Amino acid sequence: MLKKCIKKVNPILVLTGGLFGLFFSLLVKLGNPPNMGVCVVCFIRDIGGAIGFHKIAAASYIRPEIIGFILGSTIIALAVKEFIATGGSSPIIRFVIGMFIALGALVFLGCPIRMFGRIAGGDWIALLGLVGIIAGTYVGSVFMKNGYSLGKAQPLNQANAWVMPVIVFALFIGLLIKPTVMPPGAHTHAPILVSLVLGLIIGLLGQRSRFCSIGGIRDIILMKNFELVQGIIAFLIVCFVVNVILNQFHSGAHPIGHTDLLWSALAMFLVGMGSVMIGGCPFRQTILAGQGNTDAGFAVIGILVGASFVHNCPIAASPVGVPVIGKISVIIGIVVLLLIGLLNIKKE
């Protein structure tokens, strides 16, 4: 099986994963929060705070990395003529699933990308998140094997493709006008230009390679295909090596995390299942949204609204642990996604 995988090495996928792992570690060194070089859900939440969706000042900043992911995808998609407006595949359901993905990620305290980054930094608590991701991906894959579908996306007027890039460009202008509203002592951030450039690079490569932190696990379960998982393997290896070199590898619990093992697993079960059901992890949704997929755009907006809602309630976990309302919300999210899965199985 391993031999079969090695024979089908995908160079651009390995390059994307490797550079992503490198950038994850470098962004921590340059000022992003500890062991949070990139967290797609957390960073979208920060954007939500910056535009007034929630009032947590310590999590209110227009993150350049997200701008880079989306605009990088747009730029390369235009260059290779893949910037095409599509949509209509149950956008409201995708929005709802996006909200629950945000909920799960903020109870765990990290999206799948950050989960792998935490593991590469020596945070073994994050391994419980990986168990949850695999289990959730398995359940989502079972739905797919049995005919789960949100419908086929249709071609749309090309103006629809520009909505997300224009919104993100407006955020970029806002970032230049008012770089940060974070108060002293809040989460730090890497230099704006560095974060933007690295985000653009990963956005460009992510669009070409189809890198997805969940897709590789899904493909192994569904098709015994090990190609897509190469990106995450490269991410883990490079991130680990760079962390060791930069003295950022520390075995044990890490900052901006908690030690509630059961709820770490269950929260990421929710994230894994939801990601399969909408066709990719939060990072993949930003890339698809950048290339004109309005359904992915609805998922990204769902993550934005969900992440803000989670902090307004408050449902999100903290280093102290997971609040009771957070635990209840995770269970509700799992039940809702199971119902969505069952109700969208298409009979032949």
| Per-residue pLDDT tens listing for the chain (348 residues) | 455 555 689 999 999 999 999 999 999 999 999 889 999 999 999 999 989 999 888 888 999 999 999 999 999 999 999 999 999 999 999 999 999 999 999 999 999 999 999 999 999 999 999 999 999 999 999 999 999 999 999 999 999 999 999 999 999 999 988 766 555 545 678 999 999 999 999 999 999 999 999 999 999 999 999 999 999 999 999 999 999 999 999 998 788 889 999 999 999 999 999 999 999 999 999 999 999 999 999 999 999 999 999 999 989 999 999 999 999 999 999 999 999 999 999 876
Q: Is 103 a member of any domain?
A: yes
Residue 162 lies in a domain: yes
pLDDT reported for residue 188: 78
Amino acid at 111: C
Q: How far apart are CA 74 and CA 84, in angstroms?
A: 10
Q: Residue 1: inside a domain, yes or no?
A: no
Asked whether residue 348 is assigned to any structural domain, the reply reads: no
Question: Taking the CB of residue 178, how many other CB atoms lie within 10 A of it?
Answer: 10
| Any domain includes 2 | no
Question: What is the per-residue pLDDT for 34?
Answer: 86
H or E element that contains 208: helix 192-209
- What's the pLDDT at 237? 98
Q: For residues 211 and 28, what is the distance between their CA atoms, to the nearest angstrom? A: 21
Tell me what pLDDT residue 179 has. 65
| pLDDT for residue 217 | 96
**Residue 4 domain-assigned?**
no
Phi, psi (deg, nearest 5) at residue 321: 145, -165
User: Domain containing 222: what range?
Assistant: 9-343
Q: Is residue 3 part of a domain?
A: no
Look at residue 242 and tell me if it is in a domain.
yes
